[in-house]
Amino acid sequence: MDVLAAIQKRREITAFKELPISETDLGKLTMALYQSPTGNNLPSREFIVVTNKPLLAQLSKTTPYMRWLEQAAIGVVIIGNEELSKYWLQDASIAGGYLWLAATSLGLGAAWGAVYHSEDHNESSQRENYVRDLLNIPAKLRVVAILGLGYPASDPPPKKMYAEDTVFHRNSFGLR
Ligand SMILES: Cc1cc2nc3c(=O)[nH]c(=O)nc-3n(C[C@H](O)[C@H](O)[C@H](O)COP(=O)(O)O)c2cc1C
């Protein structure tokens, strides 16, 4: 599947079949993460691929909004290094987008579990520390998100989008 087709096909998938992801496909997914661009070309984001089922079950309790992780074949924890680059959050987010599209192109589904919370410092610390403790992540690294991946239990229809002029402008804000 080419990248434009994957963009159109991609949905958030939160229910998965009990099928493993092959090592070949896992290699393609990690390649997508590895090749994702970063500001200043610095390795400002790192990834923990979680295949251990009991660990996925524990991670699914990081927030109330990622219970689907328990069913996923793998989880990918995306970590940002704010000491290395001021672009850590953008870099981590782009990597997650690449992973999501790569998963779609392989016939897999993915869901995004937000960990980092930009508005509520205490909530963010609580969530990030929970993941840090489970995965031995150094305190200086930020935990941005956990994506869950697996074979989709269902095939959701293409997304119904809002009108394009909600978000597009031409040459100047407000001009179409
Ligand atoms: C930054 C970001 C944070 C998200 N956080 C969560 C989350 O914590 N839990 C969840 O189930 N989905 C989460 N999602 C998935 C969105 O809810 C989902 O992508 C959105 O509803 C649109 O649906 P679609 O992906 O099928 O287009 C997140 C997505 C993004 C991009």
Q: Where are the domains of the chain?
A: 14-154
Mean pLDDT over 68-85 rounds to 98
Ligand 1 contacts CB of residue 112 (under 6 A) = yes
Mean pLDDT over 141-154 rounds to 98
Centre of ligand 1 to C-alpha 112, Å, is: 5
Confidence grade of residue 46 (pLDDT, cut at 50, 70, 90): very high
Bridge partner residues of 49 (DSSP):
76
Mean pLDDT over 16-25 rounds to 98
In angstroms, what is the C-alpha Rg of the chain?
A: 17
Of 8, 12, 117, 131, the residue with max ligand 1 atoms within 8 A of its CB, to mutate for a pocket test, comes to 12
pTM: 0.97
CATH number of 14-154: 3.40.109.10
What is the C-alpha separation between 149 and 118, in angstroms, rounded?
25
**Tokens matching residue 161:** 């989008």
Mean pLDDT over 67-77 rounds to 98
What's the pLDDT score for residue 158?
Answer: 85
Average pLDDT of the chain to the nearest whole number: 97
Nearest CA to ligand 1 atom 3: 114
Nearest CA to ligand 1 atom 12: 112
**Tokens matching residue 58:** 């524990």
